[in-house]
Structure 1
């Protein structure tokens, strides 16, 4: 293997290796496990398997056709894991078991098709040619899920690209969906470029994603963002002393947080302050973002209602307090209370 091939092998394989490592981390070792972390682990795993197949097929002669088939079949799960990760991260997943019935037929189809039309005997079906029906289906299904995921996260795209107030999760989801589109495009066009471009794209987008996530967690301005005009300008204590009572009034008396579609701009309008002013006040004076503040009040009301309104179901209480889905309610409750709503109800009964 020439030096050039060794370099290509290294940079393309390192993405697959670290993707597998991160999938293991999010699925097993991370302290704050959630449904979204499991979906992200699954997404990284199937992507890494697909990329590993490309790397070994390019640089390792005589690779097993079964391994190639597994790598190609993994494409069928990239889209579903992306879709359910986006749903879960945005708190839009309405059922805890729906994803199983969604992905189970796909897994069964993978096994059945792989058994009756194995790659070693029906290679033409797995290649993107005129009669490569399986290959065309794989790429079409993958692209369809990317489009659907982008549609689910359309509000996050609007917040990020309109420079409106957006949380780190918005940047992460937008970046992830764009990266999935880049990887899909790299594989789809490899007939005009090189088969290894898809693997290199995965390595590049993986490390770019990690870099963006680290910068956003540290509240750093990214190279493509306009600097925040008020980033180094603290709000004077005298200017903000009357803001907290107004915020408390909106939540305690007006129950603004019971509106599931409440946005920072909505609250800012009620308080007659610019949205960026309110955002900075929350970060500088309360050390929390808007989403955390709203969920704190929602969970506070939920704990009270669980004790008082025993005839209501936990799901009904969650919706009454402003949560859009049962999973979002459970995740937020466990985050602030350390236990699930069901465990809390049992502890006080």
Structure 2
């Protein structure tokens, strides 16, 4: 093997090897024993097996079909365990979280049936491209589902409504890494086949650097610490807080302040900023901007109906919007019509 090929093999295989080592750590040694560590360990194991298959097949095209099928079957479980991991970190108290058992109850038999009825060696034309492409599409669907779980966190990374936390960056990085891997493998006919393994090795070490140089993120991995603490706000408690919050928003009209921050509102109802974010995200299904804008638009509707002498722009500013375009865009989004159309219909 030439020196260049030896180096290529070393760097591409290194990621798969270290991925397996990490998976064993999370499965067997990580403390405390938490379901999120189990999911992360299995996710890394499945991904490392898939990557390892790519490496050995690239350098040994005569690799047994059994190994090829085993690697592709492992890839079938990468997406699901990624989703289970994100779910276990973001909201482990959710009753729907236990749905992972039903996912596996459907996916494991499906993988076994397809594997036995249509073995790779005898049905290459079926596996390539149909089954393989289906596996990658399924993986991508689970990535999208994971993105949906942290949609407010992702949005916060860009608009900075609240302080960005380590867990937000960690989860976002994992999802971006998975997207890059899926794209790399899905379009393997257009790029070098080994690119997926090299991408994984690179991303794995980037993430490891992030873990070991960020103590907060390290606690997320090893202790499964949640952003908001150990428990979701109880329904009864959330209902009381929601009533108090609505009363304050209506009476003090905090939404009229164009520079209002989540910390300002949190103080009014006696919560920390993180607790307030939890109330909005988990119990109301809103981020801070959406929450404030709902009050602003309701106030704008009232003014459009009762203050015909005010211009649309003046109403927008009065209700807390800092620009005419933002007011018009938000009004259209929430009311389904423009401010001028709403005024004419009233």
Structures share fold, TM-score greater than 0.5: yes
Query: Within 5 A, what are the aligned runs for 1:97-116?
Result: 97-116=98-117
Match of 1:142 among 139, 144, 151: 139
What is the distance in 1 between the residues matched to 2:238 and 2:139? 40
Which residue in 2 is equivalent to 1:185? 183
Whichever of the two has the greater Rg, that structure is 2
Which residue in 1 is equivalent to 2:173? 175
**Distance of aligned partners of 1:218 and 1:94 in 2 relative to their CA distance in 1, 3 Å threshold:** closer
**Distance of aligned partners of 1:121 and 1:31 in 2 relative to their CA distance in 1, 3 Å threshold:** same
TM-score, length basis structure 2: 0.64
What is the distance in 2 between the residues matched to 1:266 and 1:257? 19
Once the two structures are TM-superposed, the CA of residue 64 in structure 1 deviates from its matched residue by: 1.4
Instruction: Flag structure 1 segments of 5+ consecutive residues without an equivalent.
Output: 220-254, 273-277, 280-289, 296-318, 325-349
Once the two structures are TM-superposed, the CA of residue 167 in structure 1 deviates from its matched residue by: 2.0
**Distance of aligned partners of 1:79 and 1:268 in 2 relative to their CA distance in 1, 3 Å threshold:** same
TM-score, length basis structure 1: 0.63
Per-residue CA deviations over 1:188-234 (Å, capped at 9, x if unaligned) read: 12211110000111111111111223333269xxxxxxxxxxxxxxx
What is the distance in 1 between the residues matched to 2:238 and 2:184? 46
Q: Which has the higher mean CA deviation after the structures are superposed, 153-162 or 16-25?
A: 153-162
RMSD of the TM alignment (CA)?
3.3
Which residue in 2 is equivalent to 1:37? 37
Which residue in 2 is equivalent to 1:211? 209
Which residue in 2 is equivalent to 1:63? 63
Once the two structures are TM-superposed, the CA of residue 271 in structure 1 deviates from its matched residue by: 3.3
Query: Within 5 A, what are the aligned runs for 1:313-324?
Result: none
Indicate conservation of the 8 Å contact 1:156/1:173, yes or no: no
Once the two structures are TM-superposed, the CA of residue 258 in structure 1 deviates from its matched residue by: 7.2
Does 2:265 correspond to 1:269? yes
Instruction: Flag structure 2 segments of 5+ consecutive residues without an equivalent.
Output: 218-236, 243-260, 284-346
What is the distance in 2 between the residues matched to 1:45 and 1:257? 42
Indicate conservation of the 8 Å contact 1:55/1:199, yes or no: yes
Match of 1:63, SS state, is coil
**Distance of aligned partners of 1:63 and 1:141 in 2 relative to their CA distance in 1, 3 Å threshold:** same
**Distance of aligned partners of 1:115 and 1:215 in 2 relative to their CA distance in 1, 3 Å threshold:** same
Q: Which has the higher mean CA deviation after the structures are superposed, 52-61 or 175-184?
A: 52-61
Does 2:16 correspond to 1:16? yes
Indicate conservation of the 8 Å contact 2:14/2:201, yes or no: yes
Once the two structures are TM-superposed, the CA of residue 139 in structure 1 deviates from its matched residue by: 1.5
Which residue in 1 is equivalent to 2:83? 83
Once the two structures are TM-superposed, the CA of residue 175 in structure 1 deviates from its matched residue by: 0.6
Per-residue CA deviations over 1:244-296 (Å, capped at 9, x if unaligned) read: xxxxxxxxxxx889759xxxx54433437xxxxx88xxxxxxxxxx46x999x
What is the distance in 2 between the residues matched to 1:154 and 1:107? 29
Figure out how many residues of one structure are paired with residues of the other and give that number.
Answer: 245
**Distance of aligned partners of 1:258 and 1:167 in 2 relative to their CA distance in 1, 3 Å threshold:** farther
What is the distance in 2 between the residues matched to 1:174 and 1:6? 33
Indicate conservation of the 8 Å contact 2:75/2:135, yes or no: yes
**Distance of aligned partners of 1:161 and 1:258 in 2 relative to their CA distance in 1, 3 Å threshold:** farther
